[in-house]
Amino acid sequence: MGADGGTSRASAFERGGAHRLYRHAHSPVHALPPHTKLAAAFGFVVVVVSTPREAMWAFGVYAVLLGVVAYHARVPAGFLLKRLLIEVPFVAFAVLMPFVAEGERVDVLGLSLSVNGLWGAWNVLAKGTLGVAASVLLASTTELRELLLGLQRLRLPPLLVQIASFMIRYGDVITDEMRRMRIARESRGFEARGVRHWGVLAKSAGALFIRSYERGERVHLAMVSRGYSGSMPVIDEVTASRAQWSYALALPSAALVVCLLGWTL
């Protein structure tokens, strides 16, 4: 059960690029069944989003909660912070907000800032960062295959899960194909410098599409010849015990208490 068994089973598919998000370790968080973790992360983010922005202390408590989870999952702080960088474009937007928002204004260091804008920036930054941190923790403690099984367990339509698993399995293959085409272009002296070169890039994209589609047809034929009839057999069914559920849901429950306090205080 959980990550320990999962890693030994992991096929070559999952060693690829997307997998680098996963951080192998043996921890109580890794060992939890994937669907409990998904539910916990989602519940946590929902609670965070519904917290009033004026309760600033609540967001501090949320961060501490995530820190506790990260500690139990043996995810180092540096790793977590580096992953948070994905948020940077939005931080730029949040920084702009106090300058363009409406409402009464306040002078800070000689700059006229909107009070509402400051609150808005804080709101987006705090909630966005906590959401990203929760997703990062989820992805770094759960293997891809497990994540997909967990989604299926949470009643995502099986067809959608299959599509997602094909996308992940072949994502690296297709990306590599694209990389080889780029190397082929560059070794012939091509360098994309401006709009005039869009045609070449678009032709590459077209060729990539044809290759992907034809590969999809071959994959389908290979599957059919091995007895595929529209649904994938699930050989590693995951179930969660009551104890595992309560362990996983400790995070959103604690967050919910904080949120309710935030509304009442």
Partner 1 sequence: MHVPDGFIDAPTSAATGVVAAAAVAVSLRGARRELDERTAPLAGLVAAFIFAVQMLNFPVAAGTSGHLLGGALAAILVGPFTGVLCVSVVLLMQGVLFADGGLTALGVNITDMAIVTTVVSYAVFRVLVKVLPGGRRSVTVASFVAALVSVPAAAVAFTLIYAVGGTTDVSLGKVATAMIGVHVLIGVGEAVITALTVGAVIAVRPDLVHGARGLRRRLQLRVDGALVDVPAPEGARTAPVAARTSRRALWITGLVTSLVLAGVVSFYASSNPDGLEKVAHDKGLDTKTEKHASADSPLADYGVKDVENARLSGGLAGVIGVGVTVVAGSAVFWVVRRRRTPDVSPTSTSAV
Site for partner 1 in 31-90 (CB under 8 A): 38, 41-42, 45-46, 48-50, 53, 83, 86-87, 90
Question: In angstroms, what is the minimal distance from the CB of 160 to partner 1?
Answer: 7
Q: Between 34-50 and 250-264, two packed helices, what is the crossing angle to 10 degrees?
A: 10
- Closer by beta carbon to partner 1, 36 or else 114: 114
- Alpha carbons 82 and 38: distance in angstroms, whole number: 22
Binding mask 111-130 for partner 1 (x = CB under 8 A): ---x-xx-xxx-xx-xxx-x
Q: Which pair of tokens denotes residue 99?
A: 């300058």
Q: For the chain, where are the E strands, in sequence order?
A: 105-108, 111-114
Q: Which pair of tokens denotes residue 34?
A: 């994937």
Contact with partner 1 (CB under 8 A): which of 139, 154, 249, 256? 139
Contact with partner 1 (CB under 8 A): which of 5, 60, 76, 157? 157
Rg over alpha carbons for the chain, rounded to the nearest Å, is 23
**Phi/psi zone of residue 90: left (φ > 0), alpha (ψ -120 to 50 degrees), beta?**
alpha
- Closer by beta carbon to partner 1, 7 or else 135: 135
- Closer by beta carbon to partner 1, 63 or else 219: 219
Number of residues engaging partner 1 in binding (CB under 8 A): 88
Contact with partner 1 (CB under 8 A): which of 219, 249, 250, 254? 219
Q: Which pair of tokens denotes residue 235?
A: 């050989």
Asked if 180 is part of the footprint of partner 1 (rule: CB under 8 A), the reply reads no
